[in-house]
Amino acid sequence: MVEEIGLRVLTLRDFDGSVHLIPHGTITTVTNMTKDFSYAVLDVEVPAREDVDEVLKVFVEVGAELRRDPQFADDILDDLEVVGIDNFTSTQMTVKLRIKT
């Protein structure tokens, strides 16, 4: 978390509470992960015995339901995107999904 932006130093606090002091002259790259929108990226493990087409169909349906749900509708900006099968073993497959928020 950014705690302070001073004239010469940027002060960040780590998840575990550590404080990082970064002189402005050493900053070469800044990444804003939430400018205008973000993607929630999900890796979902599914048993390998399941029908892939049916699994993907269910994910798309659940994503559409979330967009219609008043609790989430304002935060979900586009349909759920099924990126594909990221990993496949004899016991499970990992389905990669993302949704624009």
Domain ranges of the chain: 1-29, 39-100
What is residue 50's three-state secondary structure? coil
Question: Taking the CA of residue 40 as centre, how many other CA atoms within 13 Å lie in the half-sphere pointing to its CB?
Answer: 11
Architecture of domain 39-100: 2-Layer Sandwich (3.30)
Looking at the chain, the whole-number percentage of residues with pLDDT higher than 70 is 100
Q: What is the largest CA-CA distance in the chain?
A: 59
The pTM assigned to this predicted structure is 0.70
β-strand partners of 98 = 41, 81
For residue 30, name the pLDDT band (cuts at 50, 70, 90).
Answer: confident
pLDDT of residue 32: 85
User: Which among 60, 56, 44 has a CA at the least distance from the CA of 95?
Assistant: 44
Give ∠ CA 14-16-20 in degrees, rounded to 5.
30
